[in-house]
Structure formats: structure tokens, C-alpha cells
Chains A and B, each alone.
Chain A
């Protein structure tokens, strides 16, 4: 099993550009999550999904959108990129809310 995979690994965006961060898991987990990690700040939840077709906002959703059309995929869309979105983005999945989350390797995004 590949676990949780994320693409791309690195990306540089100009202010105002858009992009989609891809996330795929092959563990048949219903729950999926997007986090951003900033230095010294821990991880902040952006969006989460408890199953295909169901998504909800986390702590820091502004400037992002998600969709969940399949169990495996949970893409994160950045519209009109801003320097404040410079961060490392992690996708994770879990079987349920009290099961451990499995994390992808991350995407390092720089907006200039």
C-alpha cells in the first residue's frame, strides 16, 4: 500500500494564481483532512471530509476549497494565492475520528 500520497512536493506560485493540491489514499478510509503547518505553530485544520460528498470547514478555511467525489481523493484548491498561504500542506486520512491519522509527505508551497 502506498498510504497517503500528495502531489506536487514543491510549488512556487505568483500572487493571484490558482492551483490544486492533490491527495490520494489507498486505505479505504472514510475520513480525510487537510492541514497547513507553519513554523512554531503546529498544524491547523483547513478542511475535512467524513465521506464521499461530505466536506466541512476546519479552523482556517478562508482562501481554500475542497471536494470529495470519491473515497480515495481529496483535492485542495487555492484560489487567488496570497503570500499568507505560503506554508507546508499535509493531507491525512483515518478510519474514524478516534483512530490515528495517516499523513502524506506534504507539499511545500511558496507564494511570491
Chain B
């Protein structure tokens, strides 16, 4: 079975400071890893993914994530947070050959002006 853990329900960060949203996963075989963002009353929007290759993945809106195989982690990062980054962030994992994407419970990011 595959699973995702987002250990923080909420992350608060001051505008302009770096932000990190944590994600760890468990899956058989090689993982496909994704980050999505959800704004209030909206569907999820894709931010970035890791399939293979470089462990540092760059995505939309200045976000990046680092795949760490030994720690089974895929933390989302941004060097300088914006108030407009405030939203709900979901990490998701799929095992290679699995059609099912498993989502974490989400982390609410609040960027304080």
C-alpha cells in the first residue's frame, strides 16, 4: 500500500521568509511524487512533480521540491514567501505502474504580511 504523510496541519511564515512544507511517503518501487495547491472553493492546481532524474525539481510560482530517496521525503520549498502563497498544499504519491494517486491530508500555509 502507498501512503503520504504531511506532518504539519498548518505552517505560518512571514512574508519574504523562506518556506518549507514537509512530505514523506511510502510506496513499493520507484515513486512518482506531486505537489498540488488548493485555493478556497477551488479545485487543485498542479505545482510540480518528480518522476526521475534530478532530485531538485522546479515548478510553478517559484516553488521547488527536493526528492530524498534515503529519507523518503519530498519537501516543498520557496526562497521568499508571498501573501498570495497562502493556501492548502497537498503532497501525493503513486507507485510506478499504479493508476492510483494517494494524497496527504494537506498543509495549510499562512503567509503573514
Contacts and interface: CB of A to CB of B under 8 A. Distances in A.
Interface of A: 4, 31, 33, 35, 40-45, 48, 50, 56, 58-59, 90, 92, 97-98, 100-106
B25 interface: no
Interface of B: 4, 9, 32, 34, 36, 41-46, 49, 51, 90, 94, 96-106
A42 B106 contact: yes
A104 to B, nearest CB: 5
A48 B100 contact: yes
A60 B21 CA distance: 27
Nearest to A4: B43
A37 B45 CA distance: 15
A104 B45 CA distance: 10
B101 A41 contact: no
